[in-house]
Amino acid sequence: MRIDKLLANRGYGSRKEVKKLLKSGVVKVNGETIKDASAHFKPDEDTVTIHGETIEYKEFIYLMLNKPPGVISATEDNMHETVIDLLEVDDALFNPFPVGRLDKDTEGLLLITNDGGLSHQLLSPKKHVPKTYFAVIEGEVTEEDITAFKEGVVLDDGYKTMPAELVILKQGLTSDIEVTIMEGKFHQVKRMFEAVGKRVIYLKRLSMGELHLDETLELGEYRELTDEELSLLKKH
């Protein structure tokens, strides 16, 4: 990999600025000063330092965000704040994107990465990666709803969903539930409840595959995945 590309990727300025930086002699590869912007280094073997500080090279970044409401799951938007706007500059430099979408008003687990391969695996309709949500529903969720979800419900566009697992946590004028779906159709959870004549008034994603929301993250906070979380996700 070219040394100027590494420095530009890690936020040390434009290619032109990076060239200047190299000329000033502060960049070393394995202790040897490198001034040539087109010089290459081996990401797995060589140590690159700038002003004596090691620059970590990594290709991919994997972030778990506790998505707050009011923010959209996109990389750019002219009108609204996006989940990428919540990231620190050092993380945004990796050009990550959200893996799938949560509605603007939905909260909870959102994976943000620049690993297109992993994203593709997790979103592939063939893989049936389970996603679990907590929701508050207007009205009383019943045993009949559990049965209907188990069999799959017909959405407003005529699509019959795959079986979904519905667990009632609290029954009453409003009901607390957990639902696990194996697909990711547009507004799926809300539309499944509409199909049984009910309305979702609060929705939060708890898990995606083996990845569970870290409940110590406040809304809007995020952290990198641990190696263990990443290897569990990659099993899909």
Stretch that binds ligand URA, among 33-41, 42-50, 58-66, 100-108 (CB under 6 A): 100-108
Q: Measuring CA to CA, how many Å separate 9 from each of 40, 52, 164, 206, 232?
A: 15, 19, 42, 32, 28
Should residue 189 be labelled a site residue for ligand URA when binding is judged by CB under 6 A?
A: yes
From the list 46, 85, 91, 103, the catalytic residue is 103
Stretch that binds ligand URA, among 17-25, 43-51, 153-161, 187-195 (CB under 6 A): 187-195
Give the burial class of 1: count Cβ atoms within 10 A of its Cβ; 0-12 exposed, 13-18 middle, 19 or more buried. middle
Respond yes or no: is residue 103 known to be catalytic: yes
Should residue 106 be labelled a site residue for ligand URA when binding is judged by CB under 6 A?
A: yes
Token code pair at residue 54: 């090691």
Binding mask 194-223 for ligand URA (x = CB under 6 A): ---------x--------------------
Binding mask 125-144 for ligand URA (x = CB under 6 A): --------------------
Q: Are 140 and 94 in contact (CB under 8 A)?
A: no
Should residue 188 be labelled a site residue for ligand URA when binding is judged by CB under 6 A?
A: yes
Should residue 103 be labelled a site residue for ligand URA when binding is judged by CB under 6 A?
A: yes
Stretch that binds ligand URA, among 4-12, 81-89, 99-107, 206-214 (CB under 6 A): 99-107
Please list, in sequence order, all residues whose beta carbon lies within 8 angstroms of the beta carbon of residue 177, skipping any fewer than 6 positions away.
134, 135, 136, 137, 141, 166, 167, 168, 169
Quote the CA–CA distance of 111 and 97 in Å, as a whole number.
8
Q: Which is nearer to ligand URA, 58 or 199 (CB)?
A: 199
Q: Which is nearer to ligand URA, 10 or 190 (CB)?
A: 190
Degrees to nearest 5, angle at CA 50 with 47 and 54: 40
- β partners of residue 141: none
Residue of 87, 71, 91 whose CA lies nearest to 79: 71
Q: Are 123 and 184 in contact (CB under 8 A)?
A: yes
Please select the residue that binds ligand URA; options are 40, 187, 212, 234, rule is CB under 6 A: 187
Residues engaged in binding ligand URA (CB under 6 A): 102-103, 106, 187-190, 203
Q: Which residues are catalytic?
A: 103
